[in-house]
Homo-oligomer: A and B are copies of this chain.
Amino acid sequence: MAKILSFVGKSNSGKTTIIENVVPILKDQGLNVLVIKHAKRFEIDREGKDSYRIFRSGADVVITSKDKTAFISRFSDDLDFICEVFGRFYDLVITEGFSRACKDRVVVLNCPEELSNYNCGRIIAVVADFNVDGYISIRKNDYEGIAKVIIDWFYS
């Protein structure tokens, strides 16, 4: 079973950019990573495509090729269920958002006052352009530093 770590913070805090830059470092360290992202609404497929037509007809859909497989389902956003179904193929699951799931977390801040929104779950680091007393504080563009904290946490 994968270990689960959440990246939490406001929507404009830079979580996606940080994750995008930290994942390659984690992969270089041998970790197979799944990122789970929450969306209010999303359209992954395109109108008119076969897979879109079939999904709309009422079936869930898998599209598969030699090196990529997509699964479009009517599953809801139950994080524990999603981790159970998909997480078993990975070493590490990173969730973007899901702050109320109270998983161990990296908190990405624009200002110190935001921290109080994210106090369920263990904070393994604060990522911000300032230091926060009592927490490991890392700058937003220090991807190596963020990856190191994650790896230390992963093997702890």
From 38 to 85 in chain A, residues with beta carbon under 8 angstroms from any chain B beta carbon are 38-42, 44-45, 50-51, 53-54, 57-77, 82
Asked if A58 and B27 make an inter-chain contact with CB atoms under 8 angstroms apart, the answer reads yes
Interface of A is mostly: mixed
Asked if B57 and A19 make an inter-chain contact with CB atoms under 8 angstroms apart, the answer reads yes
Q: Closest residue to A75 on the B side, CB-wise?
A: B69
Asked if A70 and B69 make an inter-chain contact with CB atoms under 8 angstroms apart, the answer reads no
A interface with B by C-beta (< 8 Å): 16, 19-21, 23-24, 27, 33-42, 44-45, 50-51, 53-54, 57-77, 82, 86, 89-90, 94
Asked if A59 and B35 make an inter-chain contact with CB atoms under 8 angstroms apart, the answer reads yes
Complex CA gap A19/B23 in Å reads 39
Least distance between A47 CB and chain B CB atoms (Å): 13
- Other-chain residue from B41, B42, B58, B64 in contact with A33 (beta carbon distance below 8 A): B58
Complex CA gap A79/B66 in Å reads 11
Asked if A42 and B71 make an inter-chain contact with CB atoms under 8 angstroms apart, the answer reads no
Complex CA gap A61/B20 in Å reads 11
Complex CA gap A71/B76 in Å reads 12
Least distance between A72 CB and chain B CB atoms (Å): 5
The 10 closest A-B pairs by CB, nearest first: A69-B75, A64-B77, A33-B59, A23-B57, A36-B62, A71-B71, A44-B70, A35-B59, A20-B57, A27-B58
